[in-house]
Amino acid sequence: MSTIQAAITAIQGYLPDYVLTNKELETIVDTTDEWITSRTGIKQRHILKGENQGTSVIGINAINGLLEKTGTKAEEIDMIICATTTPDLAFPATANIIANKVGAINSFGYDLNAACSGFLYALTTASQFIETGKYKKVIVVGADKMSSIIDYEDRTTCIIFGDGGGAVLLEPSTNGLGIQDAILHSDGSGEPHLHMKAGGSRKPASHETIDAKEHYVYQEGSSVFKFAVTNMAEVAADIMTKNNLTAKDVAYLVPHQANKRIIDATAKRMGIGDEKVMLNIERYGNTTSGTIPLCLWDYESKLKKGDNLILAAFGGGFTWGAVYLKWAYDLQ
Ligand code: UT7
């Protein structure tokens, strides 16, 4: 009996219409397009506007596109995992809200929060369900409405984040293509450097927490930068060594898009050139769980069956990791 692996067989992204440019940010906080571009690589980001528009909107649009482009019926979906740090509600899970809206009546699902590494954690988790042979169509959504937890008076965070995400369809593969390996790490001692102070069970929302602006991302940027640069590069190099891959074996690095300088350091450590690095940070900023599916979506037409991809991320927690996969299809 041949081994069952989980392969990505389709990808679809979604970005809300509104584009917040560096130029517009110059009118909101004390910053410049020059500073943002040189320190992060970001030029603009998309923002989900409107009443009652949560992260599920991104997931619903991405899945509807995925079903349409693959000719899959919503009833055929076995499971949906939604990686997000900005769920619509504390409960029920955003995955359930999405499943209901897309008509995935035979699916079950749940949310997974690993901050910026969320998509890699969810992909690795979902792949286990496929590998057992029991589930045939599993969807992983990576989506965040970061604008819902960003203080647009804080120039150190509001310039980085954006809204958006994507969905991938995972199906069984028996030809050696699909997910080959994953290395995931977490270290809770990173909490002081990157977190949201209130709104959870430890410190529920109150007038005081709102007045103290504690429902926003708190980030000690330069500390997080140091951990991110080291750990994302390290784990990407580790997964190559573990799988006997050299730079020439790798078709693309698919990095979390937090800061172009972190991406460059990771590529350098792997020994690969810029032409092998997926990059769209200039257009979308950091969409947290959304960055990696948005990269795969943007580069889908360039990917060839059998390409070796290294996905790598670092984020709040701290969490970080890398996934090695062999791309499973050519776009028709
Ligand atoms: O994705 C999840 C994980 N998160 C990350 O990976 C983010 C990692 N961190 C970063 O990407 C960077 O640390 C930032 C982009 C957040 C900040 O860049 P930095 O080069 O580390 O800047 P810094 O925080 O060390 O600040 C340098 C200077 C400071 O001024 P002084 O104290 O030197 O006078 C800041 O006040 O830049 C100032 N500054 C700004 N100036 C103009 C900070 N933000 C801005 C801004 N515009 N938006």
Q: Which neighbouring-strand residues pair with 141?
A: 82, 167
Q: Which neighbouring-strand residues pair with 169?
A: 10, 139
The C-alpha angle 146, 28, 228, rounded to 5 degrees, equals 40
- Cα gap 141→112, rounded to integer Å: 10
Q: How far is CA 15 from CA 74, 224, 244, in A?
A: 21, 26, 37
- The pLDDT of 159-185, averaged and rounded, is 98
C-alpha of residue 287 to centroid of ligand 1, in Å: 17
Question: What atom of ligand 1 comes closest to residue 288's alpha carbon?
Answer: 1
- The pLDDT of 23-50, averaged and rounded, is 98
| Residue range 204-243, pLDDT digits in tens | 999 999 999 999 999 999 999 999 999 999 999 999 999 9
Q: Quote the pLDDT of residue 332.
A: 73
Catalytic residues, by residue number, are 116, 256, 286
29 contact partners, CB below 8 Å, separation of at least 6: 152, 153, 154, 155, 158, 159
* Burial per residue of 217-246, b for 16 or more beta-carbon CB atoms within 10 angstroms, e otherwise: bbbeeeebbebbbebbbbbbbebbeeeebe
- Cβ–ligand 1 distance for 39 under 6 Å, the answer yes
C-alpha of residue 39 to centroid of ligand 1, in Å: 7
Q: Quote the pLDDT of residue 1.
A: 55
**Confidence bin at 80 (pLDDT 50/70/90):** very high
Report the chain's terminal Cα–Cα distance, integer Å. Answer: 30
Q: Which neighbouring-strand residues pair with 139?
A: 80, 169
- Cβ–ligand 1 distance for 315 under 6 Å, the answer yes
Q: Is the pLDDT at 25 greater than 60, yes or no?
A: yes
Q: Is the pLDDT at 276 greater than 60, yes or no?
A: yes
The mean predicted confidence, pLDDT, of the chain is 97
DSSP for 69-97?
A: HHT--GGG--EEEEE-SS-SSSSS-HHHH
- The pLDDT of 163-185, averaged and rounded, is 98
Q: What is the CA radius of gyration of the chain?
A: 19
Greatest distance between any 2 Cα atoms in the chain:
62
Which of 322, 324, 316, 323 has its CA nearest to residue 116? Answer: 316
- Cα gap 269→189, rounded to integer Å: 25
**Confidence bin at 2 (pLDDT 50/70/90):** confident
225 contact partners, CB below 8 Å, separation of at least 6: 259, 261, 262
C-alpha of residue 243 to centroid of ligand 1, in Å: 35
Own/partner contacts of 107-111, CB < 8 Å, gap of 24 or more, are 107/77, 107/78, 107/79, 107/80, 107/139, 108/78, 108/79, 109/79, 109/80, 109/81, 109/82, 110/81, 110/82, 111/81, 111/82, 111/83, 111/84, 111/87
Q: Quote the pLDDT of residue 239.
A: 98
Q: Is the pLDDT at 21 greater than 80, yes or no?
A: yes
Q: Is the pLDDT at 43 greater than 60, yes or no?
A: yes
Q: Going from the N-terminus, what domains does the chain have, and what CATH number goes with each?
A: 5-176 (3.40.47.10), 180-326 (3.40.47.10)
DSSP category for residue 3: P
| Residue range 298-324, pLDDT digits in tens | 999 999 999 999 999 999 999 999 999
Q: Is there a contact between 76 and 137 (Cβ–Cβ < 8 Å)? A: yes
DSSP category for residue 303: -
Q: Is there a contact between 75 and 46 (Cβ–Cβ < 8 Å)? A: no
Which of 281, 286, 274 has its CA nearest to residue 158? Answer: 286
- The pLDDT of 161-170, averaged and rounded, is 98
Q: Quote the pLDDT of residue 145.
A: 98
Ligand 1: residue of 225, 227, 257, 292 to mutate (most ligand atoms within 8 A of CB) is 225
- Cα gap 127→133, rounded to integer Å: 10
- The pLDDT of 143-151, averaged and rounded, is 98
**Confidence bin at 130 (pLDDT 50/70/90):** very high
